[in-house]
Structure 1
């Protein structure tokens, strides 16, 4: 409501002539004049409109002015609406008191003096207008206060959330912040800084001497030079350094600092952030070690492949290719097993499972043994030996027929792995006149490369092979001389009807 917005003035009288007279008198006020010829009509008008002033005749049929005023005051909306009584008779003080109790704010006697009536109505109309403006201003002020309060609460919430994120970021990122008053020499560390240095905030006093005592001796001079640069006009620096924690641990850090200067260009404060990069440094070391390890393992794998190519024999080129491919595939399978363990080793049961996977769908193969972790070199060589036994069995032994059975059992004591390979119910076995290439390959792998023992028992009902392998991590080296000798001997040897070889 603006200063010039019109308000409603309700005129209530049962005589149209009086209502017309009131309208003429009040027309100069330039307000909205609403007329009602009875108390009931006045009530209906009030329920539909906002009214600033009610001008009501005391003497009316059915519902007089006092009764109408009482009914108006009972409604919550009109308890403060200004009512002016017009009385054509002389009223007593008791009547006036009754009128005031009913909610009247003033009396106007008849005959009505136009100037007096206009003045009284104008006062209450302006009072209503100003009251509504004040209410509106209060409502707007309350809205602004609520909006501002909401903004402050939201801003405070964002600040708290930001601080929480900062704290979480510092904790997750292993960061700490510090501040140094260059003039007074006062230091301030946050919780992250104390945590990185591994000291207790309650007992550790941050002084140059105490901080220097925690720095690695080889890094102190570099840090001193960096800090001295501030006096020469440098405003930022970054450096890597090590911390010797009280618990004996070494922590690698990267520190960044920025100087605040006064108008004269003099340093007054230095602030910085320290980040724990120990894990990164360790990762770099592991990466370098891994690169060297990969190089070493690649050379070992190539040496094994070269040995396979040189030691393999075949009756034809096709047979030779199949034999080489089978042994290379066996080596690839064990490499897969090793890679899944990040080259920490391979479990023997997994090696056996990989080699016998094509025969595991039925009931031909029985496996039994505890979990034994083998070192990479042992796993590679043993896998090749198992491949020779499986290939030999698939060609000539128990795995060459559906009725054949194969039992593999293994166990270990503190230093030795023992594996028993027992075939049965397969083709009739005849002891070979001389050792075939496959047999010598198994013996070369187990005995020459691993320092173990391989025993073969050629029973007529099926082959029994017992392998004993030391668990002390013998590394597979280059092609052994014994293996080369076996190849030479194999060229002159003859094959038996049951060679038991791939």
Structure 2
């Protein structure tokens, strides 16, 4: 069998002996290196990797024992095999000394070739196997290091991936779970506990406890999912509600996938739960807003239709001006309500929008607390204020630069009390009959809002007091036009016919 040759160092001061050793050991097929002195042997050792040293005990300058001691002092040669050849009778004391110096065996003279070859062959093979084992160990260590580095890199990537997954689950309000279908054991991650509003310390995950957290109307979803998996379904998704221990109801969507054994029986179900409560609430708000916008649009159109039908004037220009003014008043309050998503309108903002077209500087003073009006009240009150401003600009305090208008309001026990006080304008006389603006104002405040409108036609200016319930709720089935026309005074209803 081909094998890597090793170096065998032959040390003796007599050339004839060296030649004899070479002849004897040539059959081994190894590299034979000769040295005629101890010093020469040391030089060879420093330059060449030696497997076995065959050394004569009796040599001038450095004998075999001294050479062995020097060789053993070097860390590189502490395990190199050395065989002593002695031409004298070696005592037990000498053998012990030789072994202490590092000898591994003795060969007496005359040398028996078969014995010498056998001894050298054993140690050469041992050296070869040792080197092969070292190479294998080194290769194994290299592979272990490479595999360890690969595993560490894989572990780091897995840890990083798990951290990203955990962050994604937390950010997405998700939780993951695992259910051993055979043993019934459950495993939840932190996201799952967070969604259900419980903690690992005080909640045991089992079918009974989990079912107790489901909304009573959605418990059948769990039973249906179990039935589907038992029938062979491998994936299932459904929306359901949970009721947290604090009573809060949350909407979730659950996705589950089943794992089966070789016989097709379900052994494990894993899944993800996503909290979609905010999405559900957003959908509800969107649907509510859509219905509200539809209702408000119809209501605004009905009001506009009522304004067009009930407005009266002696000429077309006056009629157009009156209609445009009332439609613009309706548009302004509609803008205010739109900005609040139809949640309501601030009374002061409503008044400021109505007086904006007049640009009268310091003629008007406002005083009152913040009062929030519901959309229906805001629309009706905006039209009433428009009539007051229009009449004042035509005939009252706002028709002259000397006129003054003070508008004040207060809220008391869900009742809004607004005072309209004009002074400094033209002399006022009590009208013999009510105009359309006055009649529509009374109709809107008293009939639509369930409030009261009082007019005091003082000579120095009109004093009007409006009392409007802040919690007034009109009939849900009546349209704005129905309420405006049906609740109007008889003469106003006749005017529309």
TM over 0.5: yes
Shift in alpha-carbon separation, 1:156–1:424, aligned structure 2, 3 A: farther
CA distance in 2: counterparts of 1:489 and 1:209, whole angstroms: 71
Residue 333 (structure 1) shift: 0.8
TM-superposition CA deviations, 1:222-263 (whole Å, max 9, x none)? 322322333443221111222232222222221111122344
* Pairing 1:315-330 to 2, within 5 Å after superposition: 315-330=314-329
CA distance in 2: counterparts of 1:251 and 1:316, whole angstroms: 62
* Pairing 1:341-352 to 2, within 5 Å after superposition: 341-352=340-351
- Are 1:430 and 1:459, in contact at CA under 8 Å, matched by a contact in 2? yes
CA distance in 2: counterparts of 1:368 and 1:153, whole angstroms: 74
TM-superposition CA deviations, 1:154-183 (whole Å, max 9, x none)? 877765554444333322322110012233
- Are 2:430 and 2:457, in contact at CA under 8 Å, matched by a contact in 1? yes
Residue 413 (structure 1) shift: 0.8
Residue 264 (structure 1) shift: 4.5
CA distance in 2: counterparts of 1:232 and 1:186, whole angstroms: 21
Provide the secondary structure at the position in 2 that maps to 1:242. Answer: strand
- Are 2:405 and 2:422, in contact at CA under 8 Å, matched by a contact in 1? yes
Which residue does 1:134 correspond to in 2? Answer: none
CA distance in 2: counterparts of 1:156 and 1:315, whole angstroms: 90
Which residue does 1:356 correspond to in 2? Answer: 355
TM-score by length of 1: 0.63
Which residue does 1:485 correspond to in 2? Answer: 490
Which stretch of structure 1 is more off in the superposition, 188-197 or 151-160?
Answer: 151-160
Shift in alpha-carbon separation, 1:152–1:364, aligned structure 2, 3 A: farther
Shift in alpha-carbon separation, 1:244–1:481, aligned structure 2, 3 A: closer
Provide the secondary structure at the position in 2 that maps to 1:479. Answer: helix
Q: Given the alignment of the two structures, is residue 418 of structure 1 paired with residue 417 of structure 2, yes or no?
A: yes
Which residue does 1:261 correspond to in 2? Answer: 260
After TM superposition, the runs of 4+ consecutive aligned structure 1 residues lying more than 4 A away are 151-162, 488-491
Provide the secondary structure at the position in 2 that maps to 1:183. Answer: coil
Residue 489 (structure 1) shift: 7.3
CA distance in 2: counterparts of 1:329 and 1:152, whole angstroms: 75
- Are 1:223 and 1:239, in contact at CA under 8 Å, matched by a contact in 2? no
Which residue does 2:228 correspond to in 1? Answer: 229
Shift in alpha-carbon separation, 1:364–1:163, aligned structure 2, 3 A: farther
- Are 1:241 and 1:252, in contact at CA under 8 Å, matched by a contact in 2? yes
- Are 1:449 and 1:480, in contact at CA under 8 Å, matched by a contact in 2? no
- Are 1:175 and 1:275, in contact at CA under 8 Å, matched by a contact in 2? yes
Shift in alpha-carbon separation, 1:425–1:250, aligned structure 2, 3 A: same
Shift in alpha-carbon separation, 1:232–1:487, aligned structure 2, 3 A: closer
Residue 208 (structure 1) shift: 1.7
Residue 293 (structure 1) shift: 2.8
Unaligned runs of 5+ residues in structure 2 are: 1-144, 475-479
Which residue does 1:273 correspond to in 2? Answer: 272
Which residue does 1:308 correspond to in 2? Answer: 307
TM-superposition CA deviations, 1:424-474 (whole Å, max 9, x none)? 222333332222221112111111211222122222322222211122224
Residue 381 (structure 1) shift: 0.8
Provide the secondary structure at the position in 2 that maps to 1:170. Answer: helix
- Are 2:428 and 2:462, in contact at CA under 8 Å, matched by a contact in 1? yes
Provide the secondary structure at the position in 2 that maps to 1:290. Answer: helix
Shift in alpha-carbon separation, 1:482–1:196, aligned structure 2, 3 A: closer
- Are 2:404 and 2:425, in contact at CA under 8 Å, matched by a contact in 1? yes
- Are 1:377 and 1:473, in contact at CA under 8 Å, matched by a contact in 2? no
TM-score by length of 2: 0.63
Which residue does 1:248 correspond to in 2? Answer: 247
Which stretch of structure 1 is more off in the superposition, 348-357 or 457-466?
Answer: 457-466
Which residue does 1:285 correspond to in 2? Answer: 284
Provide the secondary structure at the position in 1 that maps to 2:362. Answer: coil
TM-superposition CA deviations, 1:47-85 (whole Å, max 9, x none)? xxxxxxxxxxxxxxxxxxxxxxxxxxxxxxxxxxxxxxx
* Pairing 1:78-97 to 2, within 5 Å after superposition: none
Provide the secondary structure at the position in 2 that maps to 1:363. Answer: helix
Shift in alpha-carbon separation, 1:155–1:358, aligned structure 2, 3 A: farther
Provide the secondary structure at the position in 1 that maps to 2:322. Answer: helix
CA distance in 1: counterparts of 2:158 and 2:427, whole angstroms: 85
CA distance in 2: counterparts of 1:490 and 1:207, whole angstroms: 74
CA distance in 1: counterparts of 2:153 and 2:340, whole angstroms: 51
Shift in alpha-carbon separation, 1:379–1:328, aligned structure 2, 3 A: same
CA distance in 2: counterparts of 1:310 and 1:369, whole angstroms: 35
Kindly report the root-mean-square deviation, in angstroms, between the aligned alpha carbons of the 2 structures: 2.9
Provide the secondary structure at the position in 1 that maps to 2:342. Answer: coil
CA distance in 2: counterparts of 1:407 and 1:310, whole angstroms: 32
Unaligned runs of 5+ residues in structure 1 are: 1-144, 492-502
* Pairing 1:21-170 to 2, within 5 Å after superposition: 162-170=161-169
CA distance in 2: counterparts of 1:377 and 1:311, whole angstroms: 20
Shift in alpha-carbon separation, 1:484–1:194, aligned structure 2, 3 A: same
CA distance in 2: counterparts of 1:275 and 1:315, whole angstroms: 67
Which residue does 2:295 correspond to in 1? Answer: 296
- Are 1:311 and 1:484, in contact at CA under 8 Å, matched by a contact in 2? no
Provide the secondary structure at the position in 2 that maps to 1:421. Answer: strand
Provide the secondary structure at the position in 1 that maps to 2:214. Answer: coil
Provide the secondary structure at the position in 2 that maps to 1:403. Answer: coil
